Amino acid sequence: MKEILSPLSKVFGSLFIALTWTIFIQVLLCLPGHSFPSTESFSIPGLDKIAHIIIFGILVFSWCAYLNKKAVSSRQRATFFFIVFLGACANGIIIEYIQKYYIPNRSFDLGDIIADILSSGVAYGLCNVVFSSAQRN
């Protein structure tokens, strides 16, 4: 796993990538429902959850990869990574309420929140393992 994620951390480990991805997903998640195509390919069961898993996993991984370069100690790195995880989880929850109350043709979905939190947790765990073992080597 380390062999796969270490090169990815070089690609995703810039502030530009982390900020750009964060802005991109905020815009994407706040688009009105009529902005999305209503073709049959988008009615695949669970496709929405897979999208949430991917976007939140990349969100956490990109910020952890960037912050990994800034951490001076393993304790500081762990703190940074946990803050990223909590921020991603809070973002996933808040966005669902924003969609429910403020975005036309969008709705609240507890399944999206669960997908966001699980994906953020997996990315958080992977980053802790990969970047901690890379630091030791």
pLDDT tens, residue by residue, 9-29: 677 778 999 999 999 999 999
Please give the pLDDT value at position 34: 67
Please give the pLDDT value at position 33: 75
Please give the pLDDT value at position 117: 98
pLDDT tens, residue by residue, 27-52: 999 988 766 666 555 567 778 899 99
> pLDDT above 70 covers what percent of the chain?
81
52 neighbors 116 (Cβ within 8 angstroms): yes
Please give the pLDDT value at position 121: 98
Please give the pLDDT value at position 62: 94
Q: Return mean pLDDT, the chain.
A: 86
Whether the predicted pLDDT of 82 surpasses 70:
yes
HSE value, Cβ hemisphere, 13 Å, CA-based, for 19: 3
Please give the pLDDT value at position 4: 59
Model pTM score? 0.86
Based on C-alpha coordinates, what's the Rg of the chain?
16
SS3 readout for the chain: CHHHHHHHHHHHCCHHHHHHHHHHHHHHHCCCHHHCCCCHHHHCCCHHHHHHHHHHHHHHHHHHHHHHHHCCCHHHHHHHHHHHHHHHHHHHHHHHHHHHHHCCCCCCCHHHHHHHHHHHHHHHHHHHHHHHHHHHC
pLDDT tens, residue by residue, 114-134: 999 999 999 999 999 988 766
